[in-house]
Chain A
Amino acid sequence: MDNRTEMHRRERRRYVIGYGGSLLLTLLMFGVTYQYGIETVGVYLTIGLLGLAQLIVQLVYFLHIDRRRSSREDLDLILFSTLVLLIIILGTIWILGNLSIRMHMHMM
């Protein structure tokens, strides 16, 4: 019984840490915007990195994805999906961005 209570506490703590981390990153994200405005690429890059960090925090603390041997196969799945998504999204942006330049679109 004690063991189970202990495990419960540990898992709950994991959630609270994830929540706290995500909250902090969210506040930073909006704080940066509030402080520096949203016009420059530098600010946007910072926001993008904070978003990425929050994705990782939630994957680890909420979804329990880590490098432990036992949860390897869904890590593989996620990495493979990320690969396919990157090919699809970056390819699309490359192709349509190029087309939009060559066809002088949206220059009104």
Chain B
Amino acid sequence: MTSPESGFFGRLNWDALPIVGLIQDPNANEIVANTAAGIVIVGVVAVVSLLTWFRLWGPLWRDWLTSADHKKIGIMYIVFAIVMLARGVLEGVVMRAQQAAGPGDGFLEAEHFAELFSTHGTIMIFFVAVPFVFGIANFVVPLMIGARDVAFPVLNQISLGLTVSAGMMLMVSLVVGEFSTGGWTAYPPYTGAAFNPGVGPDYWIWAIVVSGVGTTLTGLNFAVTIYKLRAPGMKFMRLPMYCWTIICSSILLIFAMPPLGVAALLLAADRYLDFHFFTNDLGGNMMNYANLFWLFGHPEVYLLVLPAYGIYSEIFATFSAKRLYGYNSLVIATMSIAIMSFTVWLHHFFTMGQSALINAVFGIATMLIAIPTGVKVYDWMATLWRGRIRFTVPMLYGLGFLMLFVIGGLSGVILANPTVDYQVHNTLFLVAHFHNVLLPGVLFGLLAAYNYWFPKAFGFRLNEFWGRVTVALWTIGFMLTFLPLYFVGLMGMPRRSFSWEDPSFHPYMIVAVIGALVILAALLSVLAQLWVSIRDRGKTMAPVGDPWDGRTLEWSIPSPPPPYNFAIIPQVTDRDDFAAAKEQGRAYPKPEAYEDIEMPRNTGIGFILCVLSGVWMFALVWWIWWLAILVTALIVLAIIVWSFDTSTELVIPAEEVRKEHEAWLDLVHASTAINRDHETASENRGLARPDLEAVT
């Protein structure tokens, strides 16, 4: 619906700033909106000032923004995800507070509440879960398979740039204009031009399209990396379980992101060009959208949870000092889940009106997925059985996961029954269910991974006390917030209600808001743990690189790893190769010869595309056509110019590699090996003495 009246800046004018609303009509709703916008602005100003004050612009550009090193890109993904997590959690707390205010009461307007649940969902899925999952994968996967980088390092950088610029659009929408009120699924016709002519759905569309492109390319990159760059001898059945889950997750990205892109782009065609894909009139069919969206949406939840399964598999094996039980069955279960996740999308719209036969087929397919998942749970428990178990922070997350995730999984099996689904569809029961799988499933897994691999990334361990506090707060906060929602859901409270009337909901709502505050405390304690750990890092240094008596290749190199990861590409002869090497006394070999190593040179293309795509989205949202066309041309030009650059490799001379590697080997031989009793003590420098009583 292009409007002829749009001027030089399209439909952008001063009314787009929230402060204007506050001046015209000061109330609680406007204060909340302006506080949010204020936090964004203050945050940006603070970061810019700090960088300038400490003269960090140069190092930031040289060492981070232009780096094609998978480890740094992974860390940047995780930082981005944690920033977005903070916003998502705050929004959750505000929503819980609104619903706890009492029947018919509250401080937010309906539109504002709708904006909150839309951004909360969009952020948590696309800008927390996905970047966090692939941030961890970025850091870990090449180290685990014995590679020096991912298959396409520059593409990796571009993926990061696109994801971040799309996430920034959500931040911009707080300050300029407003975000969609159509939920994270953005169902038309509500989000179509007829009912929603504003900028909200457009922010959603372009953020989804751009981050979708970035994510698809990430999937491609990791599928090819694991397929092609494994160290010699690492056959598929020697691949660490985590890498198996990442390859399945990548395959899901490759095939499941296109439906989302199609759904969003067709919605854009409806809104911008007056097409009739999902409109009410002239043959449009909104049911096509629901179908497309969930063709993506269902594989999406598995591509988030499978890597978490992989993380737990590594953690249970390491902290039980045992080989993972039932490796083959876990591989088969992972593959089955990946393929079956393409056959169940209809269970998200059982109530749309298709025949009972179709509902039954998809309902049964959904229930079947519980089988491979159940296999996994038993395999993990069998891994723990008679292991040398240490209750470290990652292990505590893992145990919390085992207990709580089963509840979430079982409520999923209940929902898979179409007749039951008709009763609880669109109630808080569903909200309780998916938070129950996403928090203990995905988020606990990611936080466990963060604690587990942090010493590999930075050379020192995270504070154990604050880690335990964090685990306790997340677990209690989760249970208080979401378990009550099962009950109010069954009592009939619809999801996404900004106001309600039935007084019997009130006690549950009060418990839920207390839980939300505990989750907020959990988020703060994540930051406190990081702060304390950095302050006391002298006591937790583990430069040798193997603080947990690890089993896979990433523990066989220094912490933090050198830019080229492996001085010599390892020869793999076993599953859990490093554990086997330590047992057979062939760990830390002295190489006979070193070679020159070619590494990707720094490049600015990722950053350039990040900025350009950001401007492109903004121009499209606000109908600034000349700018959109200009930036499109610039993006094509930037890619073409970049393709002429042939000096993309940097050679690290063999002599330098030898010097660094031998210095580290000297450190290894000078360090005292510690056994598992002293794992969290300060004498743990990262050299492990395997416990004799725990034999594989």
Could you say which residues of chain B place their CB within 8 Å of the CB of A87?
342-343
Check if B355 sits within 8 Å of A84, measured CB to CB: no
CB <8 Å contact, B291 and A106? no
Q: Of the 9-residue stretches A19-27, A63-71, A95-103, which lies at the interface with chain B?
A: A95-103
A80, B227: Cα distance in complex, Å? 15
Q: List 20 A-B contacts (CB under 8 A).
A: A73-B227, A80-B251, A81-B255, A87-B343, A91-B346, A92-B291, A92-B295, A94-B358, A95-B354, A96-B285, A96-B287, A96-B288, A98-B355, A98-B358, A99-B353, A99-B354, A102-B354, A102-B355, A103-B353, A105-B285
Per-residue 0/1 for B57-82: is the Cβ within 8 Å of any A Cβ (1 yes, 0 no)? 00000000000000000000000000
Q: Cβ of B295 and Cβ of A95 under 8 Å apart?
A: no
The reply to whether B358 and A95 form a contact with Cβ atoms under 8 Å apart is: yes
Cβ-neighbour of B353 out of A81, A84, A102 (below 8 A): A102
Instruction: Give every chain A residue within 8 A of B343 (Cβ-Cβ).
Output: 87, 91
Residue B400 at the A interface, CB < 8 A?
no
**A55 at interface, CB cutoff 8 A:** no
Question: Among B227, B291, B342, which residue has its beta carbon within 8 angstroms of that of A95?
Answer: B291
Residues of B within 8 A of A78 (CB): none
**B residues in contact with A84, CB < 8 Å:** 255, 342
**Cα of A78 to Cα of B287 in the assembled complex, Å:** 29
Q: Mark B270-296, 1 if CB is under 8 A from A, else 0.
A: 000000000000010101100100010
B236 to chain A, nearest CB (A): 12
- List residues of chain B with CB within 8 A of the CB of A103: 353
Cα–Cα distance between A102 and B496 once the two chains are bound (Å): 29
Chain A residue at minimum C-beta to C-beta distance from B357: A98
Closest to B342 in A: A87
**Which residues of A sit under 8 angstroms from B295, Cβ to Cβ?**
88, 92
In the assembled complex, the CB of B296 is this many whole angstroms from the nearest CB of chain A, namely 10
Instruction: Give the size category of B's interface with A.
Output: 10 to 19
Nearest B residue to A88, CB-CB: B295
B residues with CB within 8 A of A: 227, 251, 255, 259, 283, 285, 287-288, 291, 295, 342-343, 345-346, 352-355, 358
Bound CA span A68–B149, Å: 31
Query: In the assembled complex, which residues on chain A have CB atoms less than 8 Å from the CB atom of B227?
Result: 73
State how many angstroms separate the Cβ of A82 from the closest Cβ of chain B: 11
C-alpha spacing A102/B291, complex, angstroms: 16
Additional 4 contacts, C-beta under 8 A, given A92-B295, A95-B291, A103-B353: A80-B251, A96-B285, A98-B354, A102-B355
Closest-by-CB residue of B relative to A92 is B291
Across-interface contacts of A98 in B (CB, < 8 A): 354-355, 358
- Contact, CB under 8 Å: B259 / A88: yes
A99 touches B287 (CB 8 A): yes
In whole Å, how far is A72's beta carbon from the nearest beta carbon of chain B? Answer: 13
Chain B min CB distance to A48 (Å)? 23
Task: Give the residues in chain A near B355, CB-CB below 8 Å.
Answer: 98, 102
Task: A92 to B291: give the CA distance in the assembly, Å.
Answer: 7
Question: Which residues of A approach B to under 8 Å, CB–CB?
Answer: 73, 80-81, 84, 87-88, 91-92, 94-96, 98-100, 102-103, 105-106
Tell me which of B283, B345, B352 contacts A99 (CB under 8 A). Answer: B352
Within the complex, what minimum Cβ distance (angstroms) separates A93 from chain B?
10
Shortest C-beta distance, A27 to chain B (Å), equals: 34
CB within 8 Å for A95 and B285 given contacts A81-B255, A84-B255, A102-B354: no
CB of B250, distance to nearest CB on chain A (Å): 13
Given known contacts A84-B255, A87-B343, A88-B259, A96 and B291 CB-to-CB distance under 8 angstroms: yes
CB A65 to nearest CB in B, in angstroms, measures 17
For A102, the closest partner residue in chain B by CB is B353
CB distance from B591 to the nearest CB of A (A): 32
CB-nearest residue of chain A to B259: A88
Minimum C-beta distance from B288 to chain A (A): 6
Contacts of B291 in A (CB 8 A): 92, 95-96
The complex places the Cα of A100 from the Cα of B287 at a distance, in Å, of 10
In the bound complex, what is the Cα–Cα distance between A98 and B358 (angstroms)?
Answer: 9
Please name all residues of chain A whose beta carbon is closer than 8 Å to the beta carbon of B251 when the two chains form the complex.
Answer: 80
For B358, what are the chain A residues with a Cβ–Cβ distance below 8 Å? 94-95, 98
- A105 nearest CB neighbor, chain B only: B285
Most buried by A among B259, B283, B285: B285
Which residue of chain B lies nearest to A85 when distances are taken between CB atoms in the complex? B255
Most buried by B among A88, A96, A100: A88
- In the complex formed, the residue of B with least CB distance to A83 is B339
Known contacts being A96-B287, A106-B283, is A88 close to B342, with CB within 8 Å?
A: yes
- How far apart sit A91 and B342, CA to CA, in the bound complex (Å)? 10
CA distance A92 to B288 in the complex (A): 8
Q: Can you name the residue of chain A whose Cβ is closest to the Cβ of B256?
A: A84
| Centre residue among A80, A81, A94 by max chain B CB count within 10 A | A94
Residue of B with least CB distance to A80: B251
CB distance from A3 to the nearest CB of B (A): 29
Question: Which residues from B are CB-within-8-Å of A88?
Answer: 259, 295, 342
Cα–Cα distance between A87 and B342 once the two chains are bound (Å): 7
Task: Give the chain A neighbours of B346 by CB distance below 8 A.
Answer: 91, 95
A92, B289: Cα distance in complex, Å: 11
Bound-state Cα–Cα, A88 to B285, Å: 18
**B residues less than 8 Å from A96 (CB atoms):** 285, 287-288, 291
A84, B339: Cα distance in complex, Å? 8
Residue of A nearest to B255 (CB): A84
Question: B656 → chain A, closest Cβ, in Å?
Answer: 36
Q: How far is the CB of B320 from chain A (nearest CB, A)?
A: 35
Q: In the complex, A95 Cα to B288 Cα: how many Å?
A: 10
Which chain B residues lie closer than 8 Å to A73 at the CB level?
Answer: 227
How far does the alpha carbon of A106 sit from the alpha carbon of B342 in the complex, in Å?
A: 29
Interface-central residue, B291, B295, B354, by most chain A CB under 10 Å? B354
In the bound assembly, the distance between CA atoms of A85 and B255 in angstroms comes to 9
- A-B pairs with the 3 shortest C-beta distances? A98-B354, A84-B255, A87-B342
